[in-house]
Amino acid sequence: MLVFGDALVPLGGGLSTGARRIADELAASTGRGTDVTATAWWSSGSGPVDADLGVDTSTYDVVLLAVPERAVQGQVPSRVVMGVRAVIDELRPGVDRAAVFVVVIPGGADRGFLAAAVQASGPRIVALAVDSGPAARPRVIEVLHGVLAEQRARADSPQGHRDAPQHEQRRYDALDRLGIIDTPGEERFDRIVDGMRRLFRTRGAAINFLPEGRQWTKSGTWNASGDTALEDSFCRTTVTGPGPMVVGDAWHVAGGLPRNTIRFYAGYPIETLDGVRVGAVCVFDPAPRNERSVEVDLLRDFAVLASGELYR
């Protein structure tokens, strides 16, 4: 889900904090993980689409427009509706044809007529009027729960864009933009790695990235530091798909995987804001393990944490 605006963000919290809060609340509501990216709304009178968002909007199931109070207060209703539609119309060519726009109008029931007008103004638009501020989130989460459930059930969901194979050059270009490769160690990444190692009770854990021709470890324990040859990398396989990769015993798996001191491996891709898989979080051990014992949802949570740190 792509969120425009900070109207639902807790006071004192930034956009990344707000995105994580919405993702956590959706996960609690739906029982499934949801990737949420947040970006600014209007700035100095210009729309968000005037800026270079740096994201591939075609990968999102839902685009949520959290309309700020200043865009509504004192405005003629028709002008508000036209302004919201202008943003939708500029975004629509770049999003998947099955994506849904959810528009949140501040001001509560008194502005229900605005929400109705926005929703009636075009296809695949869901609009609701809520109380101003973060207190509106429970109602918004309820609506998003239903919209996301419908999207996941669709045969033509944008999920196909996210699951599709990605050209390696996209990964290289994304890593160049991030500027993370060959940077010094940082405690914030070390904390994530230590948390993985302790939670999964493995000898090794790492945050790895895959620039051209090598694997580079930002933070790691046990056999994980600096560069690793691609032929010794499990993560190079993890980044080829959108979900977890779990190997119970690499010594007894046919084809393509390294044969070294690592026997158990579990990894989850690290994605950029627009879904480019640039690396992976992983845990590993010299002893084999039952694949079904791995809680991949927890591994995914660590991947989301690592992704968030790339933009701090």
Asked whether residue 50 is domain-assigned, the answer is yes
Asked whether residue 254 is domain-assigned, the answer is yes
Same domain assignment for residues 186 and 287: yes
Band the pLDDT of 51: cuts 50, 70, 90.
Answer: very low
Band the pLDDT of 28: cuts 50, 70, 90.
Answer: confident
Q: What is the rounded average pLDDT of the residues 240-267? A: 91
> What's the CA gap between 80 and 48, in Å, rounded?
16
CA distances from 236 to 13, 69, 155, 160, 309 (A): 35, 46, 29, 21, 21
Range of the domain at 201: 168-310
Asked whether residue 3 is domain-assigned, the answer is no
Same domain assignment for residues 45 and 146: yes
Asked whether residue 122 is domain-assigned, the answer is yes
Residue 237 pLDDT: 94
Band the pLDDT of 157: cuts 50, 70, 90.
Answer: low
Residue 158 pLDDT: 64
Asked whether residue 2 is domain-assigned, the answer is no
Same domain assignment for residues 222 and 119: no
pLDDT at 50 over 60: no
Same domain assignment for residues 142 and 22: yes
pLDDT at 198 over 60: yes
Q: What is the rounded average pLDDT of the residues 34-51? A: 59
Q: Is the pTM of this model over 0.85?
A: no
Contact 306, 282 (CB under 8 A): no
Same domain assignment for residues 149 and 185: no
Asked whether residue 215 is domain-assigned, the answer is yes
Residue 206 pLDDT: 97
Q: Which of 117, 145, 163 is the last residue of a domain?
A: 163
Q: Which of 163, 187, 220 is the last residue of a domain?
A: 163
How many CB atoms lie under 10 A from the CB of residue 200?
Answer: 22
Q: What is the rounded average pLDDT of the residues 240-265? A: 90
How many CB atoms lie under 10 A from the CB of residue 131?
Answer: 12
Give CA angle at 219 (169, 211), nearest 5°.
15
pLDDT at 148 over 60: yes
Q: Which residue has the tokens 């869901």?
A: 126
Same domain assignment for residues 54 and 25: yes
pLDDT at 48 over 60: no
Asked whether residue 5 is domain-assigned, the answer is no
pLDDT at 80 over 80: yes
> What's the CA gap between 151 and 157, in Å, rounded?
6
Same domain assignment for residues 74 and 154: yes
pLDDT in tens, 86-109: 889 988 888 888 899 999 998 877
The CATH number of the domain where 174 resides is what?
Answer: 3.30.450.40
Same domain assignment for residues 36 and 97: yes
Same domain assignment for residues 157 and 213: no
How many separate domains does the chain show?
A: 2
Same domain assignment for residues 95 and 173: no
The CATH number of the domain where 57 resides is what?
Answer: 3.40.50
Same domain assignment for residues 112 and 152: yes
Q: Which of 144, 163, 182 is the last residue of a domain?
A: 163
Residue 159 pLDDT: 62
Same domain assignment for residues 158 and 173: no
Q: What is the rounded average pLDDT of the residues 171-183? A: 95
Asked whether residue 1 is domain-assigned, the answer is no
